[in-house]
Amino acid sequence: MRYFLLALLFGSSLPGVAAAQTRRGVLVEAGPTVTDWGSRAGAYYLWHLSDQWVLDLGATHSTWFPRERPAGQVTAGGHVRYLIDVLRVVPSVHLGVGVGSLLDAAVAVTEVELGVSADYLISRRAQVGLTVSGVTAVFGEELADDDGKMVGSVTRMQVLLRFQWIFGETW
């Protein structure tokens, strides 16, 4: 019985200890697409779930399709990121999903993103890096591209510069 009470007391204190060591922060990234005309900028709030797993949620603005719609599209979404910590350079792979709309038309957009990143640790709080990813945008209806061809989705490769700031507890 005594061990049960000790285990209960110790076990109930673990979530507080784990929460005290949770790293949170902000991530801002921006850059051009490399397979066609366009660019993308995003801002995210991030949670380090463990030393290897990160979840980020935020919003992006893309001006990458089609050219006659320079207002672009806005999406809200997030990524699950797996970190491979190597000294001051931290490579990672990520999978992201987002939903949103074209800005100049009431057309829904769903995005799926797969990419790799490498961040350099300036300090325990600040990181800069580079992301290379592919993003597929699926539209709620077919749209005409520059050549008048109707398309329901588009895939682009992009290179984004990243800046992260960690607040709260650091490791």
* 126 Cβ contact list (under 8 Å, min separation 6): 163, 164, 165, 166
End-to-end Cα spacing for the chain: 36
pLDDT > 60? residue 35: yes
The widest CA-to-CA distance across the chain, in whole angstroms, is 77
Dist. CA 37–CA 35, nearest whole Å: 7
Q: Is 148 within 8 Å of 127 (Cβ atoms)? A: no
- Among the ranges given (41-45, 110-114, 122-126, 158-162), the one the predictor scored with the smallest mean pLDDT: 122-126
Average pLDDT over residues 131-148: 87
Distance CA 77, CA 147 (A): 30
Fold held by 26-168? Porin (2.40.160)
> Using CB atoms within 10 A of its CB, is residue 132 exposed (0-12), middle (13-18) or buried (19+)?
middle
Positive/negative CA dihedral, 98, 104, 108, 110: negative
Give 53-109 pLDDT, tens digit per residue: 889 999 988 886 666 555 678 889 899 999 887 778 889 999 999 999 988 778 899
Q: Which amino acid is at 125?
A: R
